[in-house]
Amino acid sequence: MSDGAIRTRAARVLVVEDAPDLRALYVTWLLAHGYDVDEASDGRRAWERIRAERPDVVLLDLGLPTIDGQRVATWLRLDRQRRAPAVIVITGQLEPDAIQAARDAGVDAVLFKPCGEAEITAAIEAQLARASQADERAGSSTA
């Protein structure tokens, strides 16, 4: 018995953005929506937080210091030791090649800056619903 609409805990979201003002804005919005929020300002810290905290969703800027967002996304898809979080890229890069490279790296959704609170939370909820449906399918195939 499972109900995808009911969560037993707040979804964990990691916000990875090197611009402090944007990062703070995203964190404020997500906290107001009841998410458990963590943050990182560069790719290295993002990877450390992902490995330590196991978020459900990662909001990931592509243009990050130390390790770029595309590389972080690629590493997540290659890490078969644990279930990878959903990855939503939030980027100001509009070049088709950069967006295709992100998709090739395995990101689940791409949002373009500037994006608003409703757009971000809708993207997160869509990814959480998708993960819940996948869990239900996996559970019913083993029952």
Is residue 6 included in any domain, yes or no? no
Is residue 50 included in any domain, yes or no? yes
Domain count within the chain: 1
Rounded CA-CA distance 74/141 in Å is 28
| Residue 102, pLDDT score | 86
pLDDT tens digit sequence for 101-132: 888 888 999 999 999 999 999 999 999 999 88
Q: Is 8 helix (H, G, I), strand (E, B) or coil?
A: coil
Global pTM value: 0.87
pLDDT tens digit sequence for 34-69: 999 999 999 999 999 999 999 999 999 998 999 999
Residue 22, pLDDT > 90, answer: yes
Domain region containing 20: 12-142
| Residue 1, pLDDT score | 33
Is residue 7 included in any domain, yes or no? no
Residue 142, pLDDT > 80, answer: no
- What does pLDDT average to over the chain? 87
Segment 27-31 mean pLDDT: 97
Is residue 3 included in any domain, yes or no? no
**CATH number of the domain where residue 33 is located:** 3.40.50.2300
Is residue 134 included in any domain, yes or no? yes
Is residue 42 included in any domain, yes or no? yes
Rounded CA-CA distance 28/104 in Å is 30
| Residue 121, pLDDT score | 97
Give how far Cα 40 sits from Cα of 29, 66, 108, 116, Å: 16, 12, 19, 20
Is residue 118 included in any domain, yes or no? yes
- Confidence bin at 81 (pLDDT 50/70/90): low
